[in-house]
Amino acid sequence: MMTGEKLRFDPIGALDERTSAVDAQVLHAWQRHLGLSVPTGAAILAVGGYGRRQLFPYSDIDLLLLFASDKAAAAHKEEISSFLQQLWDAGLRVSQSVRTPAECCELHEGNIELSVSLLDQRYLAGDAAVYGTMLAKLPRFVHGQRDALVRHLSRMTRERHARFNGTFHHLEPNIKEAPGGLRDLQLVSWLAQIAGTTPQAFSGLVHLPELDEARRTLFALRGYLHHQAKRDSNILTFDAQEWIAELMGVEETAIMRGYFRSARAVHRSALGALESEEARASSLFAQFRDRRSRVSNADFTVARERIYLRAPQQLAAEPELALRLLQFVGRHGMRLSLEAEQKMAPQLAAVRQYFAAPRPVWPALLEALSLPHAPLALRVAYETGVLTALFPELERIDCLVIRDFFHRYTVDEHTLVAIQTLVELRGAQAPPASSFAGLISEIEQPSLLVFALLFHDVGKGSPREGHIDASLRLAERAMERIQMPAAERDSVRFLIRHHLDMSVTMNGRDPFDPSTARDFAHAVGTVENLKRLTLVTYADISAVNPAVMTAWRAEQLWQLYLLTYNELTRELETERIEEADSPEQTAFLEGFPKRYLRTHSEADVTRHMQLELEGRPRGVAVALEKSGSIYRLTLVTGDRPFLFATVAGTLSSFGMNILKAEAFANRRGTVLDTFSFADPLRTLELNPTEMDRLKATVERAVLGRADVKQLLRSRPRSTPPSRKARIEPTVHFDDQASQSSTLIQVVAEDRPGLLYDIASTISSRGTSIDVVLIDTEAHKAIDVFYVTAEGRKLTSEKQGELQKALLAVLRG
């Protein structure tokens, strides 16, 4: 229902109008009751919002009656009472205090609120001399009590913020009290006054254009709210959002987007102003010491846990500094100083222009995303506009509201919370998070998940397109620009495309219907994809609101993960490639598990076939490549006993740490083994010639020209961890999982040469290893071998014998 009166209502103009109207009423009452009877020694001041001429409809009128002495005040009790009564009768809610100039300028616990309210005082009427006395003392008083006032404001603000969980993300916000509300706006101005400067000059830290805009927005909203409720009501309820939107002729989401933008600007300015004042209160010596903080480098210095740019103008000249900033925050977990933020702001246009052209940004970004404080780095970069300068795609979700019962956050905040959830999962000790935490340590490049999460919902800002399609399109553009390698792009695409699939399956399919796991297994294709998608789903759901990831829901997600994992590993053995695109391909691929095609691209297959061709004359071919911090060794040769153990042992003898390994065999007895490994001592990086020597040694070992035992003997054994941390080895046999092989699962303390010991123990008993899956979880190695003896599953005697032998090797 819209009335003509509402339509004419101008919330900003109304403030001044009401202030003038109330001024007239107060002056009239003053003249009538006090002006004549107390011609000297008394004055009336407006304080608080009224003092600032910001009188919202139906808000209180704060008055200060200033008397030259207590005696004078007591003598005119009657007149004061009639004065106030006239105002009450006129319908004004007056809240008054009676003070002498001396009282105004002394500080104790009980009147600190009064001291703060004096910052907004405005003379209305009465004896100018008594007002003058107070006015003369005020600046010195404020200056003298600066620290006490700051401490008081700081405590009040932090307590108030805590009542709202420290966040401005509320679906029905209190626009006055919540973080980023009008109180915070006021705080900035108070702190500036206490510091004896204007908000503009306030350590040069307040973003004014943003703040002016925010002030207008918040004022308008509060004006509407009071006007509608006909009282001092500051909660922007769903109903209020609806009718304000109608009144202004815009969408409800636009109202909330405007609110969140304002609240964010105000919140940041308030915290910045508060921190800068709190920091000032401490000694100069401390600042000097901090400036020399050890983490400072050529680009950045650190003081009081805040980052400063050594040469702020540098950013425009050298935009790559933005990436180093991401890395610096990601490494040290500190925020930027507001000074740095403000100096960077005018240079962001240059940064944006620079990164609009295709550039090899990915390696530096990958490093930043892999650092322990990557979520903070992204948050800081986002809040300061650096991230949107890098990825303008993200602007579409800036403060974008999802009108939905479950969503607590705007889309940008949801994105940042999801990333934070994912990274914090690493340290999770308690279930249900701990189950998922294990997955993080098992996947390659968890930072790819961070990138995928950053873009998973950007499409929500393009309402005419499906959100997933739009997200994919925008991510594609960004990945192209930063020149992300093809394999990584595939992973990101997969995660964005399927990011809702697990939720949908969980909520819509019967988990115990075998087709559920089978269909889902087909959709994800590989165990690696499944793990990644499970983690992205966990983070995405958790970031909807803080209460949504209940243990119950986590269990449902884990159940789906588990059923699909088992489905994927079971079919490993049974589904074999029968035919490929060309006869040459068929000859090579026939008999490989189907999994091989899902884990390898067309280019990989071509490379592997090429490798096999190269290896024919010598009987073996080895390829070694580096991807990120991981090396991958691919080996093609004819099957022979101890092959897998031999390669594993050779790698260990070079000090390499094997992370993952797979072995495939085709019908013609050609074996393709891949080993992913880390180089913890950086041997290969520091000595490029070692790459060739490693390849040559593997070839010689495979051909039986080098003795692996001999090679391994020269490696020092690492000291085992303390007894408490040791992992009791287990060996588990499973005859059910595969149609033709026995699965052996070995869980043991990881150590150099472990894989060699296990593989050679298995091979030494006439058992052949068909497929191997290796995983390392911190110090724990989890290895699964698909083995057969003379083409069949192992007999129970053989299993018993092998178990004993393996446990003996594992226990050393």
Partner 1 sequence: MKKIEAIIQPFKMEPVKEALKNIGIDGMTITEVRGHGRQKGHKEVYRGQEYNVDLLPKIKVELVVADARLNEILTALTTAARTGKIGDGKVFVYDVAEAIRIRNDDRGEAAL
For binding to partner 1 (CB under 8 A), which residues are involved? 506-512, 550, 552-553, 555-556, 559, 562-563, 565-566, 730, 732, 734, 737, 743, 745, 747, 782, 784
Give 439 or 684: the residue with its C-beta nearer to partner 1: 439
Give 690 or 734: the residue with its C-beta nearer to partner 1: 734
Give 343 or 532: the residue with its C-beta nearer to partner 1: 532
How far CA 90 is from CA of 21, 84, 94, 346, 797, in Å, comes to 12, 10, 10, 51, 100
Output the smallest distance, CB 746 to partner 1, in A.
Answer: 8
Give 471 or 516: the residue with its C-beta nearer to partner 1: 516
Output the smallest distance, CB 680 to partner 1, in A.
Answer: 25
Q: Could you give phi then psi for residue 318, rounded to 5 degrees?
A: -135, 80
> If you ran DSSP here, which 8-state letter would residue 347 be given?
G
**Count of positions (residues) in the chain:** 812
Q: What is the crossing angle of helices 446-455 and 467-481, to 10°?
A: 120
Output the smallest distance, CB 170 to partner 1, in A.
Answer: 24
Which residues partner with 785 through β-bridges? 744, 772
Q: Are strands 306-309 and 335-336 parallel, antiparallel or unpaired?
A: parallel
Distance CA 808, CA 707 (A): 23
* Three-state DSSP class for residue 90: coil
Output the smallest distance, CB 508 to partner 1, in A.
Answer: 5
Give 469 or 555: the residue with its C-beta nearer to partner 1: 555
Q: Could you give phi then psi for residue 575, rounded to 5 degrees?
A: -95, 115
Q: What is the crossing angle of helices 252-280 and 146-163, to 10°?
A: 140
> If you ran DSSP here, which 8-state letter would residue 299 be given?
S
Give 75 or 562: the residue with its C-beta nearer to partner 1: 562
Give 41 or 729: the residue with its C-beta nearer to partner 1: 729
Give the tokens for residue 153: 């404001």
Q: Give the DSSP H or E segment for 744.
A: strand 742-749
Distance CA 292, CA 42 (A): 55
Give 585 or 745: the residue with its C-beta nearer to partner 1: 745
Output the smallest distance, CB 509 to partner 1, in A.
Answer: 6
Give 363 or 511: the residue with its C-beta nearer to partner 1: 511
Give 569 or 634: the residue with its C-beta nearer to partner 1: 569
Amino acid at 367: E
Distance CA 534, CA 527 (A): 10
Q: Which residues of 498-512 are buried (b: 16+ CB within 10 A; e: fewer)?
A: bbeebbebbeeeeee
> If you ran DSSP here, which 8-state letter would residue 723 be given?
G
Instruction: List the one residue out of 543, 426, 562, 452 whose CA is nearest residue 502.
Output: 562
Output the smallest distance, CB 800 to partner 1, in A.
Answer: 16
Find the radius of gyration of the CA atoms of the chain.
35
Output the smallest distance, CB 748 to partner 1, in A.
Answer: 12
Please write down the long-range contacts of 524-529, taking CB distance under 8 Å and 24 or more positions apart: 524/498, 524/564, 524/568, 525/598, 526/568, 526/595, 526/598, 526/599, 527/565, 527/568, 527/569, 527/773, 528/443, 528/444, 528/599, 529/491, 529/494
Instruction: List the one residue out of 456, 445, 420, 207 whose CA is nearest residue 333.
Output: 420
Output the smallest distance, CB 498 to partner 1, in A.
Answer: 18
Give 545 or 745: the residue with its C-beta nearer to partner 1: 745
Output the smallest distance, CB 530 to partner 1, in A.
Answer: 12
Output the smallest distance, CB 281 to partner 1, in A.
Answer: 49
Which residues partner with 775 through β-bridges? 782
Bond from prior residue into 680 cis (ω within 30 degrees of 0): no
Give 506 or 809: the residue with its C-beta nearer to partner 1: 506
Distance CA 432, CA 326 (A): 31
Output the smallest distance, CB 446 to partner 1, in A.
Answer: 20
Output the smallest distance, CB 732 to partner 1, in A.
Answer: 3
